[in-house]
Chain A
Amino acid sequence: MPPAPKPVPKDYVPVFFPKRQGGAGASGGAEEARTSIVVVGHVDHGKSTLIGRLLADTGSLPEGKLEAAEKASREEGMPLEYAFLLDALLEEQAQNITIDTTRIGFRYEGQSFEIIDAPGHREFIKNMVTGAAAAEEAVLLIDAKEGCKEQTRRHGLLLSLLGVSQVIVAVNKMDLVGWDEARFRELEKEIREYLGGLKIIPRQVIPISAREGATIMRRDSKNLGWWKGPTLLEALVASRAKKASGDEGPLRFSVQDVYRFDERRVVAGKLESGTIQVGDPVVFFPDRKTSRVKTIETWGENQASTRVGAGRCVAVTLEEQIFVERGHVGSLPDHPPVESREVRARIFWLDAEPLRLQAPVTLRLGTQSVETRLVAIDRVVDAEKLEAVNEAREEVGRFEVAEVRLRCRRPLVYDAHDQVAATGRFALQRGSRIGGGGIIIFAEYSLSLAKAVKGDHLTWTEGRVTSEARAGHFGHEGAIVWLTGLSGSGKSTIAVALESLLFRRGIGSMILDGDNLRHGLCADLGFSIEDRAENIRRAGEVAKLMAESGLVVISSLISPLRKEREAVRASSHSAGLSFAEVYIDAPIEACEKRDPRGLYQKARKGEIRGFTGIDSPYEKPENPDLILHTDKESVEDSVAKLLAHVLGLVQLKEKDQESAGGPGGQI
């Protein structure tokens, strides 16, 4: 033991104060970029060995590491095992498999890389996912002798889900197949076909031998003289992915928290996409309140920032004091995210216990955390063949990938993954454990921004009766049938007829009539553009509530503007409701001739102003679900067509009826 250190003199200054080199945003040191590479593939195809070899060949091992690996190899009674450089944990050395993901850095030709070693054993897929999700590039290893195995394919599938599209395939252990080119070409063809099905085009397929050090850093002209392509390291250096900054995307500011440590009220969060600058009007979803950015806080900086870009974690203060909390998402008004309770996604499940239909899980997206249920499994993907599994499924099992629909207890703010990746992917948590994740494959963007919510601290209450249980109880689903067309086109006639027909079939239905609404709920509204828009919004909200309660709502309003009808459609879909836009198409001449209430006559005389079709526009639906030509066909024919369409929407499939279990089921 060394002698005890002497006490320090009273005037000792223990601190070194470095000169500041520029702070945040400054180009930081030599390490301008670092590429993360995940190495994946089937168990025993040589991942850890490859990584050990990469580190040894590039001279990236700290002193003593190689010796330690040699010593460990001797203790286990085997020749030098490159894998021991990484497989540091005891269990791994004993079983010679990688349990958990490991990361280690190396430099080659002035470039900086970080390798993530992901386990190939089936049991450790959750660790593989953890590793691969953090990577920008992947090296998929295949054993030349064994060929593509179960985990080779599954890892390929997971890479595509995790958004790692930059892939290099290395066909390893070429020494074990006598360095045979024909065998290599055969495997190359097979893996290219498989990855092609996942829309992954491998950058290179390279023959290597990690144990022998062939085509890793050095060429092996003796054995692999036929290989004219790059070495693995050459391919890595050449293919270094150019990272998109994400600044070009729409603003998505995930609020982490609101701090009030002093007189300031600071909104802290992450810019998932886009840029934010002082003065920007930021709309915070899901409440849709707007406030301008007053300052961007930068502790320790000499100069205040006025603009920051994607990836940055910032804190801002706002001009207008609006209610914002963790889980809110800031956006600019022109490119809002989707706000919906319905999520269509491709998910992967990692937990031993399967994810069952209707079972509650927590969906975590950015800083949002929402209770959700799996309401439909559209297809389960077979990793082997990339085809849908045939049988109908009630659950998604461990390591399975499936296309599903989820329904959240309250609205979730999100994007489609191919629009904004960071707000288009999520984790699923059951209890306290993350059990899986997924990417959102569909998002219905609204053409207009819905109204801001005025109240603060609102919560979303949901009863125990699920919509499936209601459907089971009533024997049909709720839906909104939205009739639109000119005054006199026949909306009311058709609505009345449809309502009776449905009712006779035991289907609960109700007409929502424009004029009737104006006697009560909308009595305060006139006929200005704003008031007419508000009238439609209210009608839409009422229709939603009624449809959610299980009724088939037949709305009969002129609803002349496309934008407003689309808003009701999007809002219905986000509540998980079927919505059918039905265009009651009759030429204005025919309508004017019918003029059941004498309104056209009054409008022509100028007694009514702003009459649709006369001095106010009617925008025909662009893609209606159904068109009824009431001037050409009989009322009976029109109604019969409509009835068939509506029954298709609301009648339960046999399977649903069973799973709903009749009245009171699923509660």
Chain B
Amino acid sequence: MSYLQHLEDQSIYILREAFSNFKNMAMPWSMGKDSNTLIWLAKKAFAGKIPFPLLHIDTTYEFPEMLSFREWARKHYELDLIVMINEEARKRGVGYETHDPVTVTHELKSAALQQALAKYKWDALVTGIRRDEDSTRAKERYFSPRTAENEWEYRDQPPEFWGQFTTAVGPGEHVRVQPLLDWTELDVWEYVRREGIPIPKMYFAQNGRRYRSLGCWPITKSIESSVDTLEGIVAELKTTKTSERAGRAQDHHERNAMQKLRAKGFM
């Protein structure tokens, strides 16, 4: 069995275990390559039907191309899609124009997620995070409990082995279910290629630039690249030494920015 096949089966196992163990789960969906891979895996896990809602946290700084992709995907996959905006923070004037990226990310993503959790009372959220993205994510569990305050107690994570996960939570708490944890960026692209998964065009070069990772437009930089095929992306990744999230400003704002963001509920 190929390694990609192993990854696919493991992710399907995790998705199904989550669906069987939690009463009310949802899947935050950012429209990026990992998110679209997750949709694909969920379709496989549940024999063609995704039996839970998807959540898009709209920061209001989305690329128009991505919003267009969102509407395409909603129809194509028959998604039960919830769109959430932290209107309250926007009214207070929180935005990249006036605030630092860590604050904005926290307010428009983590706080918005918190609002959605309060409203829909989900007990599990499927995320598309991977260990290779960031060294704090490397320490994650497949099933990672969050407190009622949406905080990650990374000092005292439950043990996890032999496919046995943390599946019980207290009131107000939820579990982050992370089926792509063991995947690398390269694995995702190889899988997209193997399966023929539709993904946003923005990953491919236009006028000599492309996006390797997609976030809010004010803080997401494109990279110099002429790659316009999947084969090209795979080849480029095999030689690059730049990290995937190098183009994401909020990660690099201060030392341990990601850890601080993540302890407070960021994906």
Interface residues of chain A, those whose CB is within 8 Å of chain B, are 1-2, 4-8, 12-34, 61-65, 71-72, 75, 86, 88-91, 99-105, 112, 114, 126-127, 129-130, 133-134, 162, 245, 256-257, 259, 261-262, 264, 266, 268, 270, 297-300, 309, 311-313, 315, 326, 350, 364, 366-367, 422, 425-427, 429, 431-434, 437
Report the separation of the CA atoms of residues A665 and B176 in the bound assembly, to the nearest whole angstrom.
Answer: 43
Q: Is the interface of A mostly helix, strand, loop or mixed?
A: loop
Report the separation of the CA atoms of residues A5 and B3 in the bound assembly, to the nearest whole angstrom.
Answer: 39
Q: Is the CB of B190 within 8 A of A427?
A: no
Closest B residue to A86 by beta carbon equals B135
Given A2-B217, A90-B259, the answer on whether A432 and B186 have CB atoms closer than 8 Å is no
Given A28-B5, A86-B135, A312-B9, the answer on whether A99 and B155 have CB atoms closer than 8 Å is yes
Give min CB distance, B226 to chain A, whole Å: 16
Instruction: Report if B255 contacts A (CB, 8 A).
Output: yes
Q: Is the CB of B136 within 8 A of A89?
A: yes
Which residue of B12, B17, B162 is within 8 Å of A437 (Cβ)? B162
Stretch at the interface among B22-30, B79-87, B112-120, B164-172: B164-172
A313: B residues at CB distance < 8 A: 9-10, 12-13, 16, 45
Give min CB distance, B172 to chain A, whole Å: 14
Which residue of A65, A103, A257, A299 is within 8 Å of B182 (Cβ)? A103
Which residue of B132, B186, B218, B238 is within 8 Å of A104 (Cβ)? B132
B234: A residues at CB distance < 8 A: 29-30
Q: Is the CB of A89 within 8 A of B96?
A: no
Q: Is the CB of B48 within 8 A of A8?
A: no
Closest A residue to B61 by beta carbon equals A4
Report the separation of the CA atoms of residues A432 and B123 in the bound assembly, to the nearest whole angstrom.
Answer: 14
- In the complex, 15 of the A-B residue pairs with CB atoms within 8 angstroms, ordered by the A residue number, are A1-B97, A5-B63, A15-B200, A24-B8, A33-B3, A63-B246, A88-B138, A88-B256, A99-B155, A100-B157, A129-B159, A130-B157, A134-B161, A268-B45, A434-B164
Q: Is the CB of B48 within 8 A of A17?
A: no
Q: Is the CB of B160 within 8 A of A434?
A: yes
- Size of interface on B: residues with Cβ below 8 Å to A: 86
A309: B residues at CB distance < 8 A: 1
Report the separation of the CA atoms of residues A81 and B164 in the bound assembly, to the nearest whole angstrom.
Answer: 35
Q: Is the CB of A126 within 8 A of B136?
A: no
Which residue of A75, A114, A326, A366 is within 8 Å of B163 (Cβ)? A366
List CB contacts (< 8 Å) of B85-101 with chain A: 96-97
List CB contacts (< 8 Å) of B209-267 with chain A: 217-218, 230, 234, 238, 241-243, 246, 255-256, 259
Q: Is the CB of B3 within 8 A of A32?
A: yes
Write out, one digit per residue, whether chain B residues 25-53 have a CB within 8 A of any chain A CB (1) or not (0): 00000000000000010011111110100
Q: Is the CB of B6 within 8 A of A91?
A: no
A24: B residues at CB distance < 8 A: 5, 8, 44
Give min CB distance, A346 to chain B, whole Å: 14
Report the separation of the CA atoms of residues A516 and B216 in the bound assembly, to the nearest whole angstrom.
Answer: 83
Q: Is the CB of B69 within 8 A of A104?
A: no
Report the separation of the CA atoms of residues A14 and B203 in the bound assembly, to the nearest whole angstrom.
Answer: 11
Which residue of B2, B10, B197, B218 is within 8 Å of A32 (Cβ)? B2
Q: Is the CB of B200 within 8 A of A18?
A: no
Given A2-B218, A91-B155, the answer on whether A64 and B190 have CB atoms closer than 8 Å is no
Which residue of B13, B154, B170 is within 8 Å of A100 (Cβ)? B154
Given A16-B199, A18-B230, the answer on whether A8 and B64 have CB atoms closer than 8 Å is yes
Report the separation of the CA atoms of residues A426 and B162 in the bound assembly, to the nearest whole angstrom.
Answer: 7
Report the separation of the CA atoms of residues A104 and B132 in the bound assembly, to the nearest whole angstrom.
Answer: 7
Given A31-B190, A34-B3, A326-B20, the answer on whether A103 and B159 have CB atoms closer than 8 Å is no
Instruction: Report if B187 contacts A (CB, 8 A).
Output: yes
B66: A residues at CB distance < 8 A: 14
Q: Is the CB of B68 within 8 A of A8?
A: yes
A30: B residues at CB distance < 8 A: 190, 234, 238
Report the separation of the CA atoms of residues A31 and B196 in the bound assembly, to the nearest whole angstrom.
Answer: 18
Given A15-B72, A27-B2, A102-B138, the answer on whether A89 and B194 have CB atoms closer than 8 Å is no
Instruction: Report if B208 contacts A (CB, 8 A).
Output: no
A133: B residues at CB distance < 8 A: 161-162
Q: Is the CB of A101 within 8 A of B196?
A: no
Q: Is the CB of A432 within 8 A of B170?
A: yes
Write out, one digit per residue, whether chain B residues 130-156 have a CB within 8 A of any chain A CB (1) or not (0): 011011101101000000000000110
Q: Is the CB of B47 within 8 A of A259?
A: yes
Q: Is the CB of B242 within 8 A of A62?
A: yes
Q: Is the CB of B196 within 8 A of A20?
A: yes
A437: B residues at CB distance < 8 A: 159, 161-162, 164
Q: A28-B4, A101-B139 are in contact. List 18 more A-B contacts (CB 8 A).
A: A8-B68, A23-B195, A28-B191, A33-B3, A64-B243, A88-B134, A88-B139, A90-B256, A99-B154, A102-B135, A127-B159, A133-B162, A256-B13, A264-B47, A266-B47, A299-B44, A311-B5, A434-B161
Instruction: Report if B19 contacts A (CB, 8 A).
Output: yes
Q: Is the CB of A17 within 8 A of B160?
A: no
B1: A residues at CB distance < 8 A: 245, 309, 311-312
Report the separation of the CA atoms of residues A21 and B192 in the bound assembly, to the nearest whole angstrom.
Answer: 9
Closest A residue to B12 by beta carbon equals A313
Give min CB distance, A536 to chain B, whole Å: 38
B51: A residues at CB distance < 8 A: 259, 261
- In the A-B complex, list the 5 residue pairs whose CB atoms are closest, starting with the nearest: A28-B4, A20-B196, A88-B135, A29-B190, A133-B161
B12, B139, B190, most chain A CB atoms within 10 A: B139
Q: Is the CB of A432 within 8 A of B44?
A: no
